[in-house]
Amino acid sequence: MIKGITLVSAVAEGAAFDRLNSLFTALGFEQGKGWQDAQGRGAAFLAPTGNLEFVTGRPPAVPPVLVEVNQLDHIHTLVEKWLSENGEATVSAPGLTHWNSRLFTVQLTPELTLGFWQSENPLHNQPPAVEGDLSAANMRFAIVTTRWNTVITDRLLQGSLDALHRSGAAKSDIEIVRVPGAWEVPSAARTLAESKKFDAIITLGCLLRGETAHYEAIYNEVARGIGQSQQETGIPHAFGVLTCETLEQALDRAGLKAGNKGFEAAIAAIEMVSIQRKLAAQIGQVKP
């Protein structure tokens, strides 16, 4: 079984060899095991992945050493900084290529040119994964919210409804249940989940430390109860119970400055239902 690939490139001068080592070290390459004897020196640099490419006919118009990176502009800045501290060399500006990427080159010596590139395809080299879609059509949701701190929870509820309706959920497929406070949320969520009438439960609430002396005890039990209901029923539960120091912090997280956590909880619920359906379809296709 193939374990790895090593390409050995000769560097004519010792000074160029040292400059190349210095540049790769500055860019964060992991160093492998080097060597030195009476005839020369060697330095190894490791990368998470490697490619071996063979060509015939017209050679590609790229440097012989290509380094794939993310955050190409940041790498370009690091290279320019290194060059300003380590002598003259030629570095090009990042530019588009005909192979759907961006590339810049570094001419360290007349014989030694490096290329740094980044794909413009956001899925390039990403491992395949099952991910949820954000369509709520034909899904049923229950929202458990509280009457306590309604100035906050009503904002969270509106955020959740906005996310569901924007994603295609019908009004008739959304059930809203109001409970007295956060302590009662897990019980209502468990009852709704056990009914098997809903694809996901969205839990909303708000706990303020300044209002409740036993704030942490309540929060821990609410989180434990919601998590236990999800694990034991198999129905996704989205957690939208805020735990804040002050009313101002809660308002910020309910739509004023830091997004609306009710909206985010609903989006998470939609995605988890989609993931569960996809996984169930895959498992059903697996032959025993």
Query: What are the catalytic residues?
Result: 214
Residue type, 39: Q
Q: What is the DSSP letter of 210?
A: G
Helices (H), the chain: 14-26, 72-85, 150-166, 185-194, 215-233, 247-253, 261-285
User: Radius of gyration over alpha carbons of the chain, in Å?
Assistant: 28
Q: Select from 281, 263, 261 the least CA-distant residue to 273.
A: 281
Q: What is the DSSP letter of 254?
A: B
- Give phi and psi for 66, each to the nearest 5: -115, 130
5 and 50 Cβ atoms separated by less than 8 Å: yes
Strand partners, 200: 141
Residues in the chain: 288
